[in-house]
Every structure is written in C-alpha cells, then in structure tokens.
Chains A and B, each alone.
Chain A
Amino acid sequence: MSKAYEKLRDEINECFYQIVGIINEIIEHRTNTFSAMLEVGESIQKDSENFVGETEKVVGNISLNINTKIDSLNMEQMRSELQEATKTFLSITEDLELLSYNTICRTMALGEKGSTITHISKEIKKYSTTVKTLLDDITKEFSAVYEKFRYIAENIIKSDISGNSGMLAMDAMEELVISSDVSVLIENSQFHDIFSQELEIINDALNTNEFSDAYEAGMIFGVYEKALNKLDFIKMSLQEKIESIQSVMKDFIYTFNTDLQNIISKTNILREELLRVESISGTICKTIRNLQSSIDESQNVIHKATAGVNNLGKQSKTFKNLVVVTAIEVARINDEDLRSVVISMISTEKELQGLIEKLHFNISLWQKLQNDFMSTFKDAGIELKTICDSSIKSEREKMLRSTYDLEAQLTDFRSVFTGEKYMNYFDSNTRRLLELFSEFVDNTNEEFETFNNKLDDKILSDEMFTQGRNDSELRDILASEDEQSSIEFF
C-alpha cells in the first residue's frame, strides 16, 4: 500500500475519533454537569417544600389560636357596657350637682341654724366637682381600653393571618420527567470500531502487490475484487450508520434541551414560590409584632382605668362620710325638707357604689382578656421565631441564592452546550469522513487498476491464477456484526 493510502486511512480514523469525541462530550455533559445540576435542583425543591410546609404549619397554629380569641371577644358587648357606664356617670354627676345646689339653697334659707349644714353643702359641691372630673377621666380611660381592644380585633381580622396561611401552601409541583437517555448515545459511541477494523483488514490484505507466480497474482487479484465489493458495502453501511447516529443525536439534543428547559422552569417556579412565602411571612411577622405591642400598651391603659376607679372608690368613702354627717346634722336641726336631701344622697351613694363595683368587674374582665391575648401572642411569638428570626431569614435567602446560582449555571451550561454547535461539528466531520472514504475507495480502485495493468494475458489465462483468485479470502466483520461485536449495551 502507498504512503498516501496509509495517510488516508489515518485521516479516516482521525475523523472517526473526532465524531466519537463529539458523542463522548455530549455524554459527559449529560452524565456529569447536567446530573449535578439536576441534583441541586432536586435539593432546592426538597428544602423549599420543607421550609414552606413548616411555615404553613406555624402560621396555621398561630392563626387558629388568635381566631379562637377573636371569636370570644365580644366587642359589641364591650361597647354597650361602656355606653351604659357613661350614662350612669352622667346621671351620678347630675345627681351630685343637683344635690349640692339643693342643699346650698335649703341651708341658706335656714340662716344661723343651718351654718354647719352650709359648710357640708359646700363640701358636697366640691365633691361633686371632683367626682365629675374623675368620672370624665374614667370615661376617657374606659374608651381608650375599648379602642385598644377594637384596634387589636380589627387588625387581626384585617391582617387575615388565616387567609395568608392558606396562601402559604406550595403548588403541587409536577414530577420532573427526565427524558434524555444517554444510553442510546453510549450505544453509538463506539460505532467506528467495526469500520476501523474493516479498513485495517482491507489495508492488511492489500499490503502487497508483489507476486512470484500466477497463483499469488490470482490471490491478490481476488482480494482486490473482494475488497472493492466490500468497500462499497462498508461505505453504504457507514452512510446508514451516520444517518442513524445523526437522528439519535438530534433526538437526544431535543430531549436534553427540553430537560434543561424543565429544570429552568422548575427553578423559576420554586424561586417565585419562595419569594411569595417570604413576603407573606414578612407581613405576618410584622402584623404579629404590631399586635404584640398593642397588647402590651393595652395593659397600661387598663392600669390607668383601674387607678381611676380606685380613686373613685376612695372618693366614694368621703361621700359616704358626708352622707352620715349630713344625716346627723339634719336630725339635729330637725328640718323636714333637708331629710329628702339625705334620702337622695343615700340613693346617689348607693348608685355610686354599684357603679364602682360594675367598673371593677369590667376591669377584671378586660384584664382577663388582656392576659389571654398576652399569653396567645407570647406563644405566637415563640412559634414565630421559626419564621421571623434572622437566622431563618438567612436560610431562606440562601435557598433563594441557590435558585439564582442554579439558573446561572444552567444558562452558562447552555452557552457551552449548544445543540447547533454539536450538530454542525458532527455534520462537517461526517461529511469529511464520507469524502475521505470515497477517496479511499478511489485509491483502492486506482491501486487495483495499477496492479491489473501489471498482469499480462498469460497470467490472466493461467488456471493457477483462477485458482488463486477463487482461493482469495477477506475476513468479514460487518456481515456478521451482531456475532462479533464485543460491546455490551444496556
């Protein structure tokens, strides 16, 4: 065989390696880089689902507890009790004013006889003014307590924690079906072995054109004939194989691109879910913190109201003393008209006592309510640590970062792994391979022609030549490819 012929064979082999290299590179991308990204994607999904599930559970608990408290909070009753108390305040202050004026008028008419009672009547007037101011203050304080609870109740309803809790659930994510199957590429990655071996066999068989007798000449002639027939068959098989690999690669790249697209889609969806959960969690944490501080403030308002009622209690003792002193003095001066004043004072004093008791009762109810809220929100605060704490926030941010990192990796990967690049490279190499192969066949034909020209009629007509031609052999691999293939596939 000529050097040019061997060079051609080497070029064909080189071309085979290039094509196999392309297939192997794609296999490498699919089995290593892609699998690693797929693993990261699955881990992000698992972490996100755990995180969202945990947040949903915590917020669900908090929302249930708070809603139970809200259901037991009867704002309408609080409002009517407050209105009733205000009405009683007005009635008592009017009674006291009336009493003081009534007493003053009556004692003035008594002259010297009523000098002591005149002094008492001035005390009643003074008391009336003090109690009026006190009751005004208590009205304001009770209104403040009412407003505080109203604010808390309205904000719990407005914040709609339970509604938000429902939105925390993650949409069921469709199972990611990976359709790109690398085994079909692996199966084709050693396609060249048989063709290389066939070329090698032909190369070896046509190694010499030298002969010493007609039989040898016939053997060489026969080998050429068989080799040329074989080359036609190899060329056809090679073309078919390349077309088949091209179709396999095209399908693989399509499914691979679809897989990549699906991972990108899933990563984007997960990120949006995480952002949504982060936003809802943030709102819930802020709402709960605001409510906690409002509930803390409500304790101060209740304290103020309690102090006001206690003060009123002390003042009521003074009034009781005034009633006693007035009754004694009225008995002493024995004035019939003033007796009715004493009766009125006793009645007012009773009303005042009743009011003070009622106010204490209301305060105790509000204090209970406040304690309930405090305890609920304290529990909520403890549970909220699992979603509001900065460490959790950083964990959530880490997860978000992972989704951005993965998308960046996928994007980079796509810029490296472009189907067009591989297909173009594959096409140009296979074109070159077929050209080289045709050249190989042409060269063999030329060599055969040259050899044939060396044979004269005497040799050609020699029986031994015919014998040698018939005895010539060329080992066949492609014809029994299935039996001879040493590669085990999946």
Chain B
Amino acid sequence: MDTSTSAQTIIAAEVEIVGTIKTSGSIQINGTLDGDLQCDGDATIGKDARIKGNLNVNSVVLAGSITGNVTAKDRIQMQSSARVHGDIKAKRLSVEDGVTFIGHSEVNPSGQSSASSAGSAPKQESTESEGKSGLFGKK
C-alpha cells in the first residue's frame, strides 16, 4: 500500500494500544486505542476503530467509535458510521446523515460571535428578502 500520499502511520484493525499516541504526521487508526491521540497532521479513524480518549488533531475523518473529546484545528468530518460520545471543537465541520453524536459542538466557520438576542418571538431587522425559491414560485 502506498502510504506516502495518505496516512504515514497506520494502526491496523487487530492492534490495540493503551496509552497516548503523539505524531507529527498523519495517522490512520483502524484498531483500538485506549488513550489520547495528538496529531499535528490529519487523522483518519476507520470504521472499525474504537477510541477511548481525547483527539487533538489538525483535521480528522471519523468513521469509527469515539468516547472522548475531539478537537481539530481545521476540520472534522463525520461519516455516517461515526459514533461520537464527547464534545467536538473545530473550525469546519461536515456531518453525514446516520451519525451518532452526543455531546457539545463548537463549530463556527464564519468566526463571528453571535449577535442575536433570545426573544420569545422570531424577529428580525432588515426587510430585504433572499431569492425566490420554493415549489411553485411566485404568481
């Protein structure tokens, strides 16, 4: 397998690691990790992977099961088979339908702080509407 273009380190499905993994490159985990993962590069958590610990990565593709917090500098991509029990924090997020996710999420791609105030009624200021869309269009 050519790993030069994908993950530099691969933890195979039958491997179980207890402890913290630290890597400056990219990593793919298909096995079991009982501990934290600190990765400066990109991480791929395979479909059959099981992780009990926190992930601190640049970006991550999640397809397996994780019990712990996931923090990504750039991007978290949750595939449909992903099961995440923990908090996530990233700049960008994409979630496919079918994921199980229980936790708190902090993802704000625009990087703006919220300016809205909670009121009993939906409210808004400007009157300019967006483009016409919908089933039949306007008459």
Query: Is A bound to B?
Result: no
Residue positions of B touching A, CB distance < 8 A: none
